Amino acid sequence: MKKILAIIFVIISLSSCEIDREPFGSMKSETIDNNPEAYIDALLNGVYGQLKAWSDPMHRLGEYAGDNMMIRGSSTDAFYEFISFARTPNNGRLGTFWDNGYKAIAQASNIINKIPLGKSPEFDSKLGECYYVRGLMYFYLVRAFGRPYYQSPETNLGVPIVNGTPNDVINATFPDRATVKATYEQAISDLKKAEELINVNKGPIFASKEAAQAMLSRVYLYMSGTYENPNPTYAQLSVDYATKVISQATRYSLLPRAEFMKYNTLKPENNRETIFAIKRVASEFSGDDHYYGIGGMYSNIGGMGWGEMYASAKYISLLNETGRNDWRPDKYKIVDARAAFIEPTYSQNAAGAFTEVFRFIKQDAGNLLNYAQLTTSRNGNVITCVEGVSPNQVTYTLTPVDAAQEIYSINYKDGKTYTGVIDNFISLNRVYPQFYIVKCSREGEDSQLHSPVISRLGEVYLNRAEAYAKLQKYSEALIDLNMIRTRSIVGGGYSSLNAANAGQLIDKERQLELAYQAERSFDVFRNGKPLTRQYPGPQNQTTDIAATDFRVVYYIPQSAINSYPGKLTQNPTN
């Protein structure tokens, strides 16, 4: 049975040759074998086509396991396991991530194996694109299924290294999982080969020399150890590769603040900050298909989307740290540019009027946190709010904390004092205010259309800032960190960076800047930090996930183990 499934997998890996749903998948393998150079563009489109299905679970397993979002309640969808850390090997979305990752590896490898180097600079450049995709896949696979690099990479298991379809498929036996170290070495080797070979930059929806360099800056950053125990060699390599990208000022630049606040609406081809993105087009969706895109869980736009996941209170608190972001239509004020990607669903009555409330987070039984939105009344400078109905109605007088920003405190009936804001009532889904996230929506202003961003210049600056800090070059790190910080917060640059605060400030900026790009959970664990999710939502609010927890890595999909022609070792179950 495993041999039969392996053959089916190989057949699939040789087809699906599409980037915009073109019918390249109908080519016969013998036709390709006789003249592979004639079909390299179609084959390469097939490699990129695999990234589309892969990118959906890639986003979900990276972002949902973090602390930037919350969901309205439990779900029967397989993605809920990413949120709850209830890891199981029978997860269809995880299977798609694995399968399409290895299909991309197989297709890229088959092109590499069929077309020799040196035929022409044009062919070499296209082979370089294949090396980029293969290196990218190995890195994303190993960070999901292999433990953080600082934890014994020589012995911890990564993923199998299988570069191409074997000549004898029937009798092939594939190797077991390589170590984390060996898998990283494979990814680095491929990305360096891509850097060497790609000589044409076709724009950010195709692999490029700079895309390889940007990814190498991240790969080496993942290898650079923790802030407490850094690896200077890998930190320096991260700096070196980040610098190669940053020096390309004529090709890439940070968007100015106002334009950055519309980043999600820009097509990647028209965005000079995007280095590589997986291109999606509207014709790939029909009708309700938009519901099932990445942005469809974060919002409902134009009647499209489930709108069941919202910005976490932890993330909103970070956005408001240097000054309140006010989303009310008549008082709209964005202090941190990243707050422009959040859109609360303010409720209006039949006359179009909003209801003023005092919103705060309170502690309920079992130390669980929940939102409260209490209707306010004003009498001169005195603001009160009420809870409940007569005769059990309770009235509270609010105490100013920062009246200019309409931040107040309340002495609540449980004897605790909470701080919150005067705002309009935000409509609820179950019991949670809907802080819609639109960072993965509105590309080209087309509802939930989104081309997942793999690398952009903002991340590369942050990569270099962290690597500099691990080299104890805090002045250089501060310059890079403030390039990102001051773009979003006018006058908000940090005054100093040192051994005591570098880890905290850089990690905070990465969380703010890279939210909803599938980076957060990996950023937490690779630096040896625990994941803390003490904010309203059905996730476990009271128990942190340590970087050493077995649930930090995902199980190898059982479907992959069942069909694998060889031994495929599962991750530990405790």
Pair 536, 69: CB distance under 8 Å: no
| Alpha-carbon separation of residue 360 from 373, 410, 421, 555 (angstroms) | 7, 9, 7, 38
CA distance 348 to 352: 5
Identify the three-state secondary structure at position 187: helix
Q: What is the pTM of this model?
A: 0.94
Q: So what's the pLDDT on residue 25?
A: 39
d(CA 335, CA 206): 34
Q: Are 272 and 255 in contact (CB under 8 A)?
A: yes
Backbone φ and ψ for 542, nearest 5 degrees, come out as -110, -10
Digit-coded pLDDT (tens) for 320-360: 999 999 999 999 999 999 999 999 999 999 999 999 999 99
Q: Whole-angstrom Cα distance, residue 541 to residue 520?
A: 17
33 pLDDT band, cuts 50/70/90, is low
As a whole number of angstroms, the distance between CA 27 and CA 436 comes to: 44
Model confidence band, residue 15 (pLDDT cutoffs 50, 70, 90): very low
Q: What is the DSSP string of 113-130?
A: HHS-TTS-HHHHHHHHHH
Question: Can you read off the two tokens belonging to residue 473?
Answer: 């070059």
| pLDDT band with cut points at 50, 70 and 90 for residue 284 | confident
- Digit-coded pLDDT (tens) for 292-316: 889 999 999 988 999 999 999 999 9
Quickly tell me which residue has 């997860």 as its tokens.
Answer: 91
Q: What are the tens digits of pLDDT across the range 92-132?
A: 999 999 999 999 999 999 999 999 999 899 999 999 999 99
Give the pair of three-digit tokens for residue 82: 């990413």
CB 425 within 8 A of CB 357: yes
Backbone angles phi, psi at 407, to 5 degrees: -105, 125
Indicate the pLDDT class of residue 28, thresholds 50, 70 and 90: low
Which tens digits make up the pLDDT trace of 487-498?
Answer: 999 999 999 999
Arithmetic mean of pLDDT over the chain: 92
Task: Show the tokens assigned to 60.
Answer: 């979900």
> What is the average per-residue pLDDT within 135-158?
98
CB-CB contact of 478 with 23 (8 Å): no
DSSP state of 110: H
pLDDT at 494: 97
